[in-house]
């Protein structure tokens, strides 16, 4: 049972998780746009691989935006993609902590905080009640 069948108000935890996932979608979109600007430069990957990476980033940004919007609406099925994305984000962010570039370390720490906060709020009692996983009190 998802939120569409109840009169429960949207908890702040749902709003925060949806906003954080949308922020991540915008970050991936921003990366895709910056990647597009550097598409013509020589790199370790040929032009075909670069175009594939660009398309993948754009599709991921659209997918994340869709997940955030549907989670905000109370669709329970969105919890799984959010968890998977946060786990990938945590794994990648931890690996970036070993960088010598201060901005990369700051971005990695911010990413870890966002992912951790999203996971905790995703399983908050009010969030699960909103999604229809437990009776609301």
Q: What is the pLDDT of residue 1?
A: 47
**118 occurs within a structural domain:** yes
**89 occurs within a structural domain:** yes
> pLDDT by residue (tens digit) across 58-70?
999 999 999 999 9
Buried b (16+ CB within 10 A) or exposed e, 44-65: eeeeeebeeebeebbebbeebb
**36 occurs within a structural domain:** yes
- At 127, the pLDDT band (50, 70, 90 cuts) reads very high
Nearest 5°: phi and psi at 7? -105, 15
Tally the domains of the chain: 1
**26 occurs within a structural domain:** yes
**137 occurs within a structural domain:** no
> pLDDT by residue (tens digit) across 72-86?
999 999 999 999 999
Taking the model in full, what pTM does it have? 0.85
Residue range(s) defining the domain that contains residue 119: 10-130
**2 occurs within a structural domain:** no
Whether residue 4 has pLDDT greater than 70: no
Distances from the Cα of 77 to the Cα of 26, 69, 125, 128, angstroms: 21, 12, 17, 12
| Cα–Cα dist 56/38, whole Å | 16
Q: What is the average pLDDT across 117-130?
A: 94
């Amino acid at each position: 049972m998802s939120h569409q069948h109840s009169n429960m108000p949207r908890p702040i935890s749902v709003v925060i998780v949806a906003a954080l996932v949308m922020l991540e979608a915008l970050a991936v979109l921003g990366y895709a746009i910056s990647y597009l600007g550097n598409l013509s430069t020589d790199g370790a990957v040929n032009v075909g691989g670069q175009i594939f990476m660009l398309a993948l980033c754009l599709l991921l940004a659209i997918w994340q935006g869709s997940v955030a919007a549907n989670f905000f609406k109370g669709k329970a099925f969105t919890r799984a993609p959010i968890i998977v994305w946060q786990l990938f984000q945590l794994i990648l962010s931890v690996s970036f902590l070993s960088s010598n570039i201060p901005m990369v370390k700051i971005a990695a720490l911010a990413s870890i905080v966002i992912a951790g906060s999203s996971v905790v709020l995703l399983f908050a009692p009010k969030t699960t009640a909103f999604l229809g996983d437990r009776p609301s009190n």
